[in-house]
Structure 1
Amino acid sequence: MREYKLYINGEWIETETGKIVDDLNPADGSLFARVHTAGKKEVEAALAAAEGAFAGWSSLLASQREKILLKAADNIEALREEAIEILIEEAGSTFMKANGEVTASANTLRVAAGECRRAEGEVLQPTSNGQLSLAVRVPLGVVAAIAPFNFPINITMKKIAYALAIGNTIVLKPASYTPATGYLVAKAFEMAGLPAGVLNVIPGPGGIVGDILVEDPRVKCVTFTGSSPVGRGIAAKAAKNLKKYALELGGKNPLIVLKDFDAAKAAELAAYGSFYNQGQTCIATSRIIVEEPLYDAVCEQMLKQAKNFKVGDPHEKDTLVGPLIDPSQCDFIDGQIRDALSKGAKVLCGGTHEGSFFQPTILADVTPEMDIFYQESFGPVVSIFRAKDPAHALELANDNEYGLSSSILTNDLNLAIQLSLKMQAGMVHVNDSTVVSTSCTAPSGGVKMSGFAKESGKFSVDVYSELKWVTLQYADKKR
Structure 2
Amino acid sequence: MTAPQDKLLDPAAFTGRIHLDGQWVEGAGGTLDSIEPATGEVLATVGLAGPADVTRAAESAERAQQEWAALPHPQRAAVLRRAGQLWEQHAEEVIGWNVREVGSIPPFAGFAVHVTAEECFEAAALPSHPLGQVLASAEPRLSYAQRVPVGVVGVISPFNVPLILGIRAVAPALALGNAVLLKPDPRTVVTGGITMVRIFEEAGLPAGLLQLLPGGADIGTAMVEDPRVRVIAFTGSTRAGRSVGESAGRHLKRAHLELGGNSAFIVRPDADVEPAVNLATWGNYLNQGQICMSIGRHIVHESLFDEYVTKLAAKAESMVVGNPATGQVHLGPVIDATQRDRIHAWVQEAVEQGAGLAAGGTYEDLFYRPTVLANPDRDATIFREEVFGPVVSVIPYATDSEAASLAADTPYGLSLGIVTADALAGLELAQRIPTGIVHINDQTVNDEATAPFGGVRTSGTGSRHGGAEASIEAFTETRWITLRREPPQYPL
Q: TM-score range by the shorter chain?
A: over 0.9
Query: What corresponds to 1:198 in structure 2?
Result: 209
Distance across 2 between alignment mates of 1:66 and 1:414: 41
1:226 matched to 2:236: yes
Query: What corresponds to 1:322 in structure 2?
Result: 332
Distance across 2 between alignment mates of 1:145 and 1:343: 41
CA positional deviation for 1:4:
4.9
Asked if the contact 1:4/1:183 (under 8 Å) is kept, the reply is no
Q: State the Cα deviation string for residues 378-416 of structure 1 (Å, max 9, x = none).
A: 000000011111110111000001110111111123311
Q: Percent identity?
A: 38
1:464 matched to 2:450: no
Q: How does 1:411-422 map to 2 (within 5 A)?
A: 411-422=421-432
Q: 2:24 aligns with which of 1, 7, 12?
A: 12
Asked if the contact 1:94/1:319 (under 8 Å) is kept, the reply is yes
Query: What corresponds to 2:66 in structure 1?
Result: 55
2:395 alignment partner, SS class: strand
CA positional deviation for 1:149:
0.6
1:270 alignment partner, SS class: helix
Distance across 2 between alignment mates of 1:417 and 1:268: 21
Query: What corresponds to 1:452 in structure 2?
Result: 461
Distance across 2 between alignment mates of 1:373 and 1:380: 13
Asked if the contact 2:236/2:259 (under 8 Å) is kept, the reply is yes
1:44 matched to 2:51: no
Distance across 2 between alignment mates of 1:166 and 1:223: 15
Provide the aligned C-alpha RMSD in A: 1.4
Query: What corresponds to 2:249 in structure 1?
Result: 239
Query: What corresponds to 2:123 in structure 1?
Result: 112
1:249 matched to 2:285: no
Runs of 4+ off more than 4 Å: 475-479
Kindly provide the amino acid, as one letter, of the partner of residue 62 in structure 1. Answer: H
CA positional deviation for 1:476:
6.1
The answer for unaligned runs of 5 or more in structure 2 is: 1-9
The answer for unaligned runs of 5 or more in structure 1 is: none
Query: What corresponds to 1:83 in structure 2?
Result: 94
CA positional deviation for 1:453:
3.2
1:443 matched to 2:455: no
Distance across 1 between alignment mates of 2:138 and 2:16: 56
Q: State the Cα deviation string for residues 180-210 of structure 1 (Å, max 9, x = none).
A: 120110000000110110110111122x211
Distance across 1 between alignment mates of 2:442 and 2:319: 19
Distance across 1 between alignment mates of 2:479 and 2:22: 31
Asked if the contact 1:119/1:166 (under 8 Å) is kept, the reply is no
Distance across 2 between alignment mates of 1:267 and 1:463: 37
Distance across 1 between alignment mates of 2:289 and 2:130: 35
Asked if the contact 2:423/2:440 (under 8 Å) is kept, the reply is no
Q: 1:127 aligns with which of 112, 120, 138?
A: 138
Distance across 2 between alignment mates of 1:128 and 1:31: 67
Q: 1:67 to 1:262 in 2, by over 3 A?
A: same
Distance across 2 between alignment mates of 1:276 and 1:414: 28
1:169 matched to 2:176: no
Query: What corresponds to 1:348 in structure 2?
Result: 358
1:293 alignment partner, SS class: coil
Query: What corresponds to 1:402 in structure 2?
Result: 412
Question: TM-score, normalization: structure 1?
Answer: 0.97
Distance across 2 between alignment mates of 1:93 and 1:49: 35
Asked if the contact 1:95/1:317 (under 8 Å) is kept, the reply is no
1:178 alignment partner, SS class: helix
Question: TM-score, normalization: structure 2?
Answer: 0.94
Asked if the contact 1:324/1:358 (under 8 Å) is kept, the reply is yes
Asked if the contact 1:94/1:321 (under 8 Å) is kept, the reply is yes
1:392 matched to 2:392: no
CA positional deviation for 1:367:
2.1
Query: What corresponds to 2:319 in structure 1?
Result: 309
Query: What corresponds to 1:294 in structure 2?
Result: 304
Query: What corresponds to 1:185 in structure 2?
Result: 196
Q: 2:43 aligns with which of 14, 32, 41?
A: 32
1:402 alignment partner, SS class: coil
Distance across 2 between alignment mates of 1:78 and 1:418: 44
CA positional deviation for 1:161:
0.5
